[in-house]
Amino acid sequence: MFERRGIIGPAAPHLDPDLEKYLAAEQPLHLAPRLIDLQWGDTAAPRLTLIGKGVCFDSGGLDIKPASGMRLMKKDMGGAASVLALAHMIMDRKLKVRLRVLIPAVENAIAGNAFRPRDVYRSRKGPSVEIGNTDAEGRLVLADAISLADEEAPDYLITIATLTGAARVALGPDLPPLYSDDEDLAAELLASGRATGDPLWRMPLWAPYDKLLKSSVADVGHIAEGSFAGSVIAALFLKRFVRDAKRFAHLDIFGWVPREQPGRPQGGEPQAARALFHFFRRELGTS
């Protein structure tokens, strides 16, 4: 079982004011956002932190989605679901790891006091962030969760998120992009994906595109002005908040099977969870 370390939100007496950016995305709701923080395992073992995007419904906010784009948005917590599936596998097999799971559980809603394009928020890490589009809320909530996780300098930091439509345009629903600057880690995760039938495809953290996140009113913009390389830009934004973690990887999943396949019924799918478990079981071993 998890050790429940905390559920942080604006109604909680121990609210961390440094999570302002995370809270801003969900300000209009009568149900406050929550940051779920769970831990398990031997404190002396290698540290693995999993972060899953938990946007329970995404309307797009004031930059509202069209009806066709909103229909599946109950699945925008697919990253959180995949992280919990992976955590269950790790605990069930008793891997030699100190596991931490962080889930920003939120809803991107519309209201008169919702966050707006061109708003500027101070991130937990320190840099100010300009909001470019309220429908890019996922990277906003992940950034502060990443900063919180990074403060412990984990041996492994993994983010899983239904983050961009651009990833689907590039690779379709069945093949999630994998981003990592760690050559060995990337190669091993790709091999684990092939071994488990849970395929991944490596995409570049192309440093020259980082300048596209430039803002005239803040330290960084959270989207680029154009529509090119959307998944790469999102991954580069997240990478800005990783400093002390030893090994980092980000997976931009779809989290859904649109058409029934052998062994995969139509509906929610914990993409990348099997590949990651295969890797960590080999990497860390069992108790």
What's the pLDDT tens digit per position in 4-42?
566 665 544 444 556 655 555 555 556 678 899 999 999
CB 107 within 8 A of CB 31: yes
- The residue among 235, 211, 217 whose CA lies nearest residue 128 is 217
169: CB partners within 8 A, 6+ apart: 230
Query: In whole angstroms, what is the distance from residue 102 CA to residue 152 CA?
Result: 13
Q: For residue 14, what pLDDT is reported?
A: 41
122 included as an active-site residue: no
CB distance 162 to 76 below 8 Å: yes
Tens digits of residue pLDDT in 42-75: 999 999 999 999 999 999 999 999 999 999 999 9
CATH number of the domain encompassing residue 59: 3.40.630.10
Q: How many CB atoms lie within 10 A of CB 210?
A: 17
Q: Which residues form the domain of 174?
A: 3-284
Report the number of distinct structural domains present in the chain. Answer: 1
- For the question of residue 139 being annotated catalytic, the response is yes
Q: Which of 100, 124, 125, 139 is catalytic?
A: 139
How far apart, in whole angstroms, are the C-alpha atoms of residue 32 and residue 13?
Answer: 13
- Separation between Cα atoms, residue 278 and residue 191, nearest integer Å: 9
Q: Which residues of the chain have pLDDT under 50?
A: 11-15
CA distances from 36 to 33, 100, 247 (A): 10, 10, 22
Of 5, 65, 202, 281, the catalytic one is 65
Pairing of strands 156-161, 128-130: unpaired
pLDDT of residue 227: 86
| DSSP letter assigned to residue 61 | T
- Residue entry with tokens 């345009």: 169
